Amino acid sequence: TGMFTYDPGYTSTASCTSEVTFIDGDKGELRYRGVEIEELATNHEYLESVYLLLNSKLPTKEELQDFDLELRHRSFLHQGLNDLFIAFPSNSHPMATLSAATAALSTFYFSHLDVCTEEELQVMARRIIAKMPTIAAYAYRTSIGAPFIQPDIDRGFTENFLYMMRAYPGGKMHRGINGEDVIRDIEIKALDTIFTLHADHEQNASTTSVRNVASTGAHPYVAISSGISALWGSAHGGANESVIEQLEMIGHVDNVDAFIARAKDPEDDFRLMGFGHRVYKNFDPRARILKELQVQLQYELKLDSHLMQIASKIEEIALNDEYFVSRKLYPNIDFYSGVILTALKIPISMFTPVFVIGRTVGWITQWMEFKKTKGAKIARPRQLYVGK
């Protein structure tokens, strides 16, 4: 092609160098700053992965405590943002509200990037990570016309999100039949693991959007807003919402064969949601961890066995079918997260916002890495002109 390479969808183009996340798609390996995802998901809480991504090392106990406390303090939203949420129509999709409110953060916290110190950039990072669960919960409450619940300083990152989703005005909570706390530890742990698995994933479409905006010198919060927009689509993070919708549409194990046939039909646009990945060609290690978690939680969290049955039938057929095997199409992270999120009483429209909460650290970490790259260039691909 002459002076440049034609690579639609960038299947073979490395757009940057990075020290953040490593993926070996053939072996099914994923590491944040060199630490295996299995280790992080099993033996560490989400905030430790957040700290690791930002600081290139796991925190000590004291560092984690300070970090946790700072994030709690930063989780509140500027009063002016409330008015913005109120202006959106109820029934708006939370992803649209989330993207808009995140862009609006750059009006409340504007700084001239060229004069920011490293510490000021780190504060920007911690601020947006801390506020994202609150923005997401407010976006949900806007979508159902319910009053906002402020964060509770006595609750940690993951618990606070469940609290802001579930509480009644005045912060009151429904008690269980025996008066037990309605946010169970097992629920916090499950959601925390889901956040950890979503924390970063190198140069995926949304992160690439964030880096592209970063390359023009714009404010980080609008860069992250563009990441949220890119994530919304069903080929990317929106797949977690589509998976459950598709399982519900299939409706019964007896209908699975017909839908598999549609997915294989070259004349039909229908795709099996939650299958396939640009990089993983063996298995998605995040999916494997979530599948194990599903099995562990099946009875304790009363996972929807009807949906799980349909999902396992799809998996069983697809994993043995020549079409899927030859194209190396395996279940991805989004195939399993929905059943667990449903059991956590997270509404379907909030599945992709949950992905956003987990991924915000990845976006801002990659944004900062870009900022520090000496001689980094504006993202400006070429084209093959085929017009008149």
* 299 within 8 A of 238, measured Cβ to Cβ: no
Question: How many Å apart are CA 224 and CA 103, to the nearest integer?
Answer: 8
- 29-32 and 35-36 strand pairing: antiparallel
By beta-carbon proximity to ligand CMC, the closer residue of 146 and 205 is 205
By beta-carbon proximity to ligand CMC, the closer residue of 223 and 272 is 272
The residues near 291 (Cβ < 8 Å, ≥ 6 apart) are: 331, 336
Question: How many Å apart are CA 157 and CA 47, to the nearest integer?
Answer: 8
Closest approach of Cβ 164 to ligand CMC, in Å?
A: 24
By beta-carbon proximity to ligand CMC, the closer residue of 33 and 201 is 201
In which region does residue 290 sit, left (phi positive, over 0), alpha (psi from -120 to 50) or beta (all else)?
alpha
* 164 within 8 A of 134, measured Cβ to Cβ: yes
Question: How many Å apart are CA 256 and CA 246, to the nearest integer?
Answer: 11
Residue type for position 350: M
- 35-36 and 21-24 strand pairing: unpaired
* 353 within 8 A of 347, measured Cβ to Cβ: no
Closest approach of Cβ 361 to ligand CMC, in Å?
A: 16
Residue in 94, 281, 301, 313 with CA at minimum distance from that of residue 193: 301
By beta-carbon proximity to ligand CMC, the closer residue of 68 and 334 is 334
Closest approach of Cβ 312 to ligand CMC, in Å?
A: 17
- DSSP bridge pairs for 35: 32
By beta-carbon proximity to ligand CMC, the closer residue of 28 and 276 is 276
Q: Is the dihedral of CA 355, 164, 224, 92 positive or negative?
A: positive
Active-site residue among 68, 192, 284, 334?
334
Which residue bears the tokens 């017909």?
A: 258
By beta-carbon proximity to ligand CMC, the closer residue of 8 and 375 is 8
Residue in 164, 166, 140 with CA at minimum distance from that of residue 152: 164
Whether 334 is a known active-site residue: answer yes
Which residue bears the tokens 């697809």?
A: 318
By beta-carbon proximity to ligand CMC, the closer residue of 44 and 359 is 359
User: Residue with the closest Cβ to ligand CMC?
Assistant: 276
Closest approach of Cβ 371 to ligand CMC, in Å?
A: 24
Closest approach of Cβ 66 to ligand CMC, in Å?
A: 32
Which residues are at the interface with ligand CMC (CB under 6 A)? 9, 204, 235-237, 239, 263, 271-278, 327, 329, 332-334
Residue 71: both structure tokens together: 């994030």
Closest approach of Cβ 278 to ligand CMC, in Å?
A: 4
Active-site residue among 277, 284, 304, 306?
277
Residue in 172, 192, 146, 182 with CA at minimum distance from that of residue 40: 192
Whether 112 is a known active-site residue: answer no
Closest approach of Cβ 357 to ligand CMC, in Å?
A: 14
- Residues identified as active-site: 277, 334
